[in-house]
Amino acid sequence: MLIGVINQKGGVGKSTTAAHLAYWLSRHRKQSTLVLDSDSQQSSSQWLQDMGMEFRVIDDPEELFETATDLADQYDAIVIDAPGVLGETTKSILLAIDLALIPVQAAQLDLASTEKIVRLVHNVQKVRNGNPHAAIFLNKAEKRSILLREARAALADISGIKLLETTIYRRTAIADAPGQSATVFNMSGEAAQVAAEEYEQLFTEALNYGKA
């Protein structure tokens, strides 16, 4: 399966999500997994290298599309960390992938900017007869906040894009993971364990939807 973690808004947690997803697929699902880092900041590359994960850095749109589609049969999963801008690279990712995973923060600016990525996803789905499957999830959320409830209501009825039930809450363990060259799946402490359970639930839900 080809999975793209996309959103043109910076700071929503694309690289963190991509790294945790790749680690989970590789170590917990025992799937051969490749990460394609197309973010010009290469936020996940050093982190992935320190964890011994297989990755490539590709920011050329045509090369990215060719590499992802050419290698699709050689890996159980390919995870693409998308750039924080809308452009040809993001379009190439959407044209190649089976599942678009879209992290969104429960904040007014983030919700307002979601309209742009939704429009792009819809345009590609028209060209590809409904593909890719696309799912939004709320990331870095604060529990029991009014914004969280409002965000879920605002995102619940977007045509062609599913709002996942699982929410990833803001936790220090997640923020600390890159600095420890780890993921919450192999960090100690109760906070990391809870975060790992949330991620596992999220990824399981997303993959089940992507295969539907």
Per-residue confidence band for 175, with pLDDT thresholds at 50, 70 and 90: very high
Q: Rounded to two decimals, what is the model's pTM?
A: 0.94
| Burial profile 114-128: b = 16 or more Cβ within 10 angstroms, e = fewer | beebbebbeebbeee
Joined together, the tokens standing for residue 183 give 């993921």
Instruction: Read off the pLDDT of residues 47-69 as tens digits, 9 standing for 90 and up.
Output: 999 999 999 999 899 999 999 99
Mean per-residue pLDDT of the chain: 92
Per-residue confidence band for 151, with pLDDT thresholds at 50, 70 and 90: confident
User: In the prediction, which pLDDT does 123 show?
Assistant: 96
Instruction: Go through the domains of the chain in sequence order and give each one's CATH number.
Output: 2-211 (3.40.50.300)
| Percent of the residues in the chain that have a pLDDT greater than 90, as a whole number | 75
As a whole number of angstroms, the distance between CA 57 and CA 35 comes to: 8
